[in-house]
Amino acid sequence: MINFLRKTFKNGWDNFWRQGFLTFATSLVIFIAVILGTALFFFQGGVAYLSQQLEDKIDISVTFKANVERNTILEIKDSLLTLNQVKKVDYISSEDAYDAFVTVHEGDQYMEALSLLGTNPFLPSLRIQTKEASQYKEVSEYLAKDEYKELISEVNDYKRGVMIEKLTDLTRSVQVLGLFLTISLSLIAVIITFNTLRLSIYSQKEEIEIMRLVGAKNSFIRGPFLVQGGLCGFFASIISFMLLTIVLFALNGLMTTLFMGFDCLAFFKANIVDVIFLELLIGLGLGLLSSYFAVRKYLRD
């Protein structure tokens, strides 16, 4: 068995280096497939990051009437925090709301209008964030209870509902698009790699026929081509990983700005094992599968 494996690997290695152009063409196709697969992985990570950023900015603003005491509002805050759906609740007093407005609109026409009022028009409020975007409706229904009707002036969640719906649709559309692109690109890569390896195998057609005439087993004939395809995929994966690492370290600042704060390098470091596994899976998978199906024709004849 050891001798068989050694000969198989040696023949595959010799084929890999002997057929320079075809080896290069096969490796190039697999390299492109690995790069695209890795790009889709980062794309999904970026979408998840942006979705999380949007969700963190979405909340329900509950405004209370002017005569509601602070302790009563804090009790409602504590009751909201007991809900499984609620992640965070912030209390904003009328004074804090006034100070925030002044900070944002200092020097503009809104401050002139505010000064004419001569009083603080802002009401105390709670800002609520849920654990998932789909849970805002449940929190709104909770706040609609009869015991809160005389305390709450407004539950400002209508805009949040539209944003949540759009965010959910966008995330779903991107996931479907990513899945479609992954499947399409994989099929294209398999077809191209398959045909490229067919050329390599066809150039050795006579050698295959001679081996079959002398009684060589299918596994002995197929083995070197599987090794050849596997080597093409392995080197394509290695080169892809090295290029990705160089690009991320060299251009991370630019990419972070381009992708609206998504730190590609940090994502890469956090998922480096998954990236290596993914690239090897795509590279070796394409090389081995394409070689297997490409040589099968000659073994059936």
Domain edges within the chain: 2-54+167-300, 59-161
pLDDT surpassing 70 at residue 188: yes
Contacts of 6 (CB under 8 A, 6+ apart): none
- Residues 11-63: tens digit of each pLDDT: 777 777 777 777 787 788 888 888 888 888 888 788 778 777 776 667 788 88
- Residues 192-217: tens digit of each pLDDT: 767 766 776 777 677 777 777 777 67
pLDDT surpassing 70 at residue 297: no
Task: Evaluate whether the domain defined by 59-161 bears CATH number 3.30.70.3040.
Answer: yes
pLDDT surpassing 70 at residue 74: yes
Q: Whole-prediction pTM value?
A: 0.68
Min mean pLDDT across 70-84, 197-211, 222-236 is at 197-211
User: What pLDDT score was predicted for residue 298?
Assistant: 64
Reported confidence tier of residue 244, pLDDT bands at 50, 70, 90: very high
- Residues 146-174: tens digit of each pLDDT: 888 888 888 876 555 566 667 667 767 77
Give the per-residue SS3 of the chain.
CHHHHHHHHHHHHHHHHHCHHHHHHHHHHHHHHHHHHHHHHHHHHHHHHHHHHHHHHCCEEEEECCCCCHHHHHHHHHHHHCCCCEEEEEEECHHHHHHHHHHHHCCCHHHHHHHHHCCCCCCCEEEEEECCHHHHHHHHHHHCCHHHHCCEEEEECHHHHHHHHHHHHHHHHHHHHHHHHHHHHHHHHHHHHHHHHHHHHHCCHHHHHHHHHCCCCHHHHHHHHHHHHHHHHHHHHHHHHHHHHHHHHHHHHHHHHHCCCCCHHHHHHHCHHHHHHHHHHHHHHHHHHHHHHHHHHHHHC
Cα–Cα nearest to 14, from 297, 204, 255: 204
How much of the chain exceeds pLDDT 70, in percent?
81
pLDDT surpassing 80 at residue 181: no
Query: Most confidently modeled of 39-53, 104-118, 257-271?
Result: 257-271
Reported confidence tier of residue 4, pLDDT bands at 50, 70, 90: low
How much of the chain exceeds pLDDT 90, in percent?
11
pLDDT surpassing 80 at residue 221: no
